[in-house]
Amino acid sequence: MIERQVYLDNNATTPLLPEVLQAMMPLLTEHFGNPSSAHGWGRRVRVLVDEARRNVATLIGARPSTVLFTSGGTEADNLALRGVAALRPGTHIVTTAIEHHAVLEGAKALEHEGLVRLSVVPVGADGVVSAEAIVDALEPDTGLVSVMLANNETGALQPVAQIAAACRRRQILMHTDAVQAAGKHPIDVEQLGVDLLSISAHKIGGPKGVGALYLRPGLKLNPLHHGGNQERGLRPGTENTAGIVGFGAAAQLAKANLDEECLRLKSLRDGFERELLRRVDGVRVNGPQEGRVPNTSSLTIRDVEAEALLLMLDMEGIAISAGSACTTGAMAPSHVLTAMGLSADEAHHTVRLAWGRSNGETDVDYVLDRMVSAIDDLRLLAAAR
């Protein structure tokens, strides 16, 4: 009998917050109008979409007119990369080895199609790219640099502001994938100095299938699709109105609770890591000690297969992940961990715990108990083999 349920995979996705569901419901019922329609049904929805745009903009310190709604983080990343590449044919793009597949595969596809040249910059053992390494990779025809703000597997924060300043001096555009930073770290597009920034609703208690791309005022971009004039023609198609309004509600809550929630998550996560390291030997925390988003633990555990630990904890009602959600199921070692210098074997002994809104102090004790005993059991089994 499972005693309780503890969801610790909040970097893969988060549960929809009740306030968000409440905000979305009218859009799925009486407010079904098309926001482009001139009549009352349409205008009422337009007002709600505009309000959501203001809330999402406020979360990232931007003006509402700079926020374009997309179908998620993946589309925002692809729109940024492909949109710039189409305007600057043959340009050189610089990115890092630890980006999410949405950026890395998106950039590789552009290179494969002969549209850009690509440089992928390695990271240090702590999973952080140095600004110097990015600057060293710049070439006279570099048109775009894309470096994520926080990594999804380790939580490592990257020196985006420093890199953006170097890009600006050289008139190079700077994109950051801030999908994993939103709601866990303050974001201000002006302080960061970026030209493009991606975020996604379902990582902050909003619905899946909606995200946004920030586009610095005056910046031109080529759309991925052609159609109507929605989202200034850069993302045509009738808006996902319920999703957008849910995103707005989630962004408003994330902004209002940011400081308090960051402190709370950090205390849960750090307390858990301290106690696990005290009780179990052969555990290493990956990523920088400081300079991580406050909810993420990447742990390499000696003699413990990540998949086996995941399954054992799943039977206890605890959800963790082995590598990022997008690569789970494929047994290839995580590209993020191998980029940090972990061997394939170490990567297969690495799990990620990502704390979130629904977790509390009592979860720490429960997860510690179950995890320590699962590790003991798996080590006994490994020793008996």
Distance CA 367, CA 313 (A): 8
Counting contacts by CB under 6 A, is residue 9 touching ligand PLP? no
Q: What are the backbone dihedrals phi and psi of residue 142, each rounded to the nearest 5 degrees, phi first?
A: -70, 125
State how far the Cα of 158 lies from the Cα of 186, in Å rounded to an integer. 13
In sequence order, the β-bridge partners of residue 174 are 145
Window 322-361: contact mask with ligand PLP (x via CB under 6 A): ----x-----------------------------------
Q: Note if 167 is an active site residue.
A: no
Helix (H, G, I), strand (E, B) or coil at 327: coil
Angle at 292 between CA 288 and CA 298, to 5 degrees: 70
Total residues interacting with ligand PLP, rule: CB under 6 A: 15
What is d(CA 353, CA 309) in angstroms, rounded to the nearest whole number? 12
Cβ atoms < 10 Å from Cβ of 111 = 15
Applying CB under 6 A, does 100 fall inside the site for ligand PLP?
A: yes
Decide: is 183 part of the binding site for ligand PLP (CB under 6 A). no
Q: H/E element holding 7?
A: strand 6-7
Q: Applying CB under 6 A, does 95 fall inside the site for ligand PLP? A: no
User: Quick one: which of 83, 159, 211, 333 contacts ligand PLP (CB under 6 A)?
Assistant: 211
16 binds ligand PLP (CB under 6 A): no
The residue among 51 and 105 lying less far from ligand PLP, judged by its C-beta, is 105
Give the one residue of 52, 62, 148, 192 binding ligand PLP; rule: CB under 6 A: 148
68 vs 280 by CB, closer to ligand PLP: 68
Window contacting ligand PLP (CB under 6 A); options: 177-185, 230-238, 362-370, 372-380: 177-185
Q: What is the distance, to the nearest Å, from the Cα of residue 216 to the centroid of all Cα atoms in its chain?
A: 20
- If binding is defined by CB under 6 A, does position 152 make contact with ligand PLP? yes
Cα 208 → chain centroid: 13
Q: Kindly list the strands in the beta sheet with 92-96, ordered across the sheet, starting from the edge strand earlier in the chain.
A: 67-70, 211-215, 196-200, 173-177, 142-146, 92-96, 117-121
250 binds ligand PLP, rule: CB under 6 A:
no
- Residue 177 in contact with ligand PLP, rule: CB under 6 A: yes
* Cβ–Cβ under 8 Å, residues 241 and 231: no
**Which of 180, 240, 252, 300 touches ligand PLP by CB under 6 A?**
180
Cα 192 to Cα 174: distance, rounded to the nearest angstrom: 10
Among 24, 27, 56, 102, binds ligand PLP (CB under 6 A): 102
Closer of 128 and 304 to ligand PLP (Cβ) = 128
Residue 343 neighbours by CB under 8 Å, 6+ apart: none
Q: Does 184 bind ligand PLP (CB under 6 A)?
A: no
Position of minimal CB gap to ligand PLP: 73
Q: Which residues in the 65-94 window bind ligand PLP by CB under 6 A?
A: 72-74, 77
Q: What are the residues whose beta carbons fall under 8 Å from the beta carbon of 51, sequence distance 6 or more?
A: 245, 248
Cβ-based nearer residue to ligand PLP, 149 or 234: 149
Number of neighbouring beta carbons within 10 Å of residue 353: 26
Residue 187 in contact with ligand PLP, rule: CB under 6 A: no
Catalytic residue among 138, 308, 326, 372: 326
Give the binding site for ligand PLP (CB under 6 A).
Answer: 72-74, 77, 100, 102, 148, 152, 177, 179-180, 200, 202, 211, 326
